[in-house]
Amino acid sequence: MLSKATGLGKASLYHYFPQGKQGMAKAVMDYIASNFEEAVLRFLQDASTPEERILLMCQALGDFYAHGHNNCFLAMMSLGEADNLFHDQVKQQLEMWIDTVTQVLIEGGIEPQLARERSQDAIIKIQGTLILVRILNEPAIFTRILNDMPRKLISS
């Protein structure tokens, strides 16, 4: 697939990625992590109110996951052989996401432990919804969950 997409032969790809398959996979991971930060996490570091930041993140999530049609790359990489090679990196990315949301909720006046649980709950829902939508082919579920998310995160 990479060969076809780039127009390069296999050997040329191995020239750019001396670490072979693992190097190519890491490049994809880094690329997606960078995208996610730019397209989603960025809103959590805005100057606006915590409520507004949460709302913006949820909207951004809809686009990032193509309203349920994209899979989560982190979830993919936590399976099979990839898990052996990238577990630490995947874990770190996910923890960063949870921590960032937690911090915003704390700034919004929510108790630290509750903030952490709500943050976990939100990401659990994203992940679970992507699975349901993928299997059932009902994008409306993704929309429903994402619409409810800001309120569930910030309500007192």
Applying CB under 7 A, which residues contact DNA? 7-12, 14-16, 18, 20-22
Q: Is 127 in the site for its own copies (CB under 8 A)?
A: yes
Out of 13, 25, 56, 123, point to the residue binding its own copies (CB under 8 A). Answer: 123
Q: Which is nearer to its own copies, 52 or 138 (CB)?
A: 138
Cβ-contact 85, 25 below 8 angstroms? yes
How many other β-carbons are positioned within 10 Å of the β-carbon of residue 51?
14
Q: Is 76 in the site for its own copies (CB under 8 A)?
A: yes
Residue 79's binding partner, choosing from DNA, its own copies, none, with beta-carbon cut-off 5 to 8 A by kind?
Answer: its own copies
Residue 19 sits at φ, ψ, to 5 deg, of -85, 5
Residue 123: strand, helix, or coil: helix
Q: Is 95 in the site for its own copies (CB under 8 A)?
A: yes
Dist. CA 48–CA 33, nearest whole Å: 24
